[in-house]
Amino acid sequence: MPKTLDVRGKFCPIPVMETAKAINEVPVGDVLEVLATDPAADPDIRAWAKRMGHEVVSSEKTAEGYLRIVVRRLK
């Protein structure tokens, strides 16, 4: 993973806003790993990625109880 964004403990709209900023630091074609505890982060980041032309590669709840969302920058 080239870049990890840790927004655990932060709530809407912070995870999406931070993801939108951090994706610009990732080269086109690479991925951004987002770690979040807000359950709304998954649907919010998916909607943002679709709207902005990026791809959610995976989204999973870890054994530790937080979300791990991987977003590929497509443009």
Residue 3 carries which DSSP code? E
From the list 1, 12, 28, 57, the catalytic residue is: 12
Our measurement of the distance from residue 66's CA atom to the centroid of its chain's CA atoms, rounded to an integer in Å, reads 12
67, with CB counted inside 10 A (0-12, 13-18, 19+), is: buried
For residue 3, which amino acid is it?
K
Tell me if residue 30 is catalytic.
no
Catalytic residues: 12
